[in-house]
Protein backbone atom coordinates (compact mmCIF):
# COMPACT_ATOMS: atom_id res chain seq x y z
CA UNK A 1 0.00 0.00 0.00
CA UNK A 2 2.83 2.38 0.83
CA UNK A 3 4.46 1.70 -2.54
CA UNK A 4 1.22 2.63 -4.30
CA UNK A 5 1.07 5.92 -2.39
CA UNK A 6 4.66 6.73 -3.36
CA UNK A 7 3.92 6.02 -7.03
CA UNK A 8 0.83 8.20 -6.87
CA UNK A 9 2.76 11.06 -5.23
CA UNK A 10 5.45 10.81 -7.92
CA UNK A 11 2.80 10.94 -10.65
CA UNK A 12 1.13 13.97 -9.10
CA UNK A 13 4.50 15.73 -8.81
CA UNK A 14 5.23 15.05 -12.48
CA UNK A 15 1.90 16.49 -13.64
CA UNK A 16 2.23 19.52 -11.38
CA UNK A 17 5.66 20.24 -12.86
CA UNK A 18 4.36 19.76 -16.39
CA UNK A 19 1.41 22.08 -15.73
CA UNK A 20 3.71 24.70 -14.21
CA UNK A 21 5.97 24.62 -17.29
CA UNK A 22 2.94 24.89 -19.59
CA UNK A 23 1.68 27.96 -17.75
CA UNK A 24 5.12 29.60 -17.87
CA UNK A 25 5.38 28.83 -21.61
CA UNK A 26 1.87 30.23 -22.19
CA UNK A 27 2.64 33.48 -20.38
CA UNK A 28 5.99 33.83 -22.18
CA UNK A 29 4.34 33.38 -25.60
CA UNK A 30 1.57 35.88 -24.88
CA UNK A 31 4.06 38.50 -23.71
CA UNK A 32 6.32 37.84 -26.72
CA UNK A 33 3.45 38.13 -29.19
CA UNK A 34 2.39 41.57 -28.02
CA UNK A 35 5.95 42.80 -27.54
CA UNK A 36 7.02 42.19 -31.17
CA UNK A 37 6.44 45.03 -33.60
CA UNK A 38 4.47 43.27 -36.33
CA UNK A 39 1.21 43.50 -38.25
CA UNK A 40 -1.67 43.78 -35.79
CA UNK A 41 -3.65 41.07 -37.63
CA UNK A 42 -0.84 38.58 -37.08
CA UNK A 43 -0.63 39.57 -33.43
CA UNK A 44 -4.35 39.13 -32.99
CA UNK A 45 -4.48 35.73 -34.68
CA UNK A 46 -1.47 34.32 -32.80
CA UNK A 47 -2.66 35.88 -29.54
CA UNK A 48 -6.09 34.28 -29.84
CA UNK A 49 -4.61 30.92 -30.82
CA UNK A 50 -2.20 30.89 -27.88
CA UNK A 51 -4.87 32.16 -25.47
CA UNK A 52 -7.60 29.68 -26.38
CA UNK A 53 -5.43 26.63 -27.17
CA UNK A 54 -2.61 27.15 -24.66
CA UNK A 55 -0.23 24.21 -25.05
CA UNK A 56 -0.66 23.54 -28.77
CA UNK A 57 -0.89 27.24 -29.63
CA UNK A 58 2.29 28.02 -27.69
CA UNK A 59 4.19 25.23 -29.39
CA UNK A 60 3.00 26.29 -32.83
CA UNK A 61 3.90 29.90 -32.12
CA UNK A 62 7.40 28.99 -30.99
CA UNK A 63 7.98 26.68 -33.95
CA UNK A 64 6.38 28.73 -36.75
CA UNK A 65 4.85 32.02 -35.69
CA UNK A 66 7.83 33.64 -34.09
CA UNK A 67 9.88 33.38 -37.27
CA UNK A 68 7.05 34.73 -39.42
CA UNK A 69 6.34 37.63 -37.06
CA UNK A 70 10.01 38.67 -37.08
CA UNK A 71 10.11 38.61 -40.89
CA UNK A 72 7.16 40.97 -41.35
SS (H, E, C) 19-68: HHHHHHHHHHHHHHHHHCCCCHHHHHHHHHHHHHCHHHHHHHHHHHHHHH
* pLDDT for the residue 36: 84
Q: Residue 41: pLDDT above 90?
A: no
Sign, CA dihedral 58-48-28-16, equals: negative
* pLDDT for the residue 24: 96
pLDDT in tens, 6-39: 777 778 888 899 999 999 999 999 999 989 887 7
Q: Where are the beta strands (DSSP E) in 1-72?
A: none
Amino acid sequence: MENLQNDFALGISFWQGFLFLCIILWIYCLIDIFKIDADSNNKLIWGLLVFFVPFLGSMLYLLMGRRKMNQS
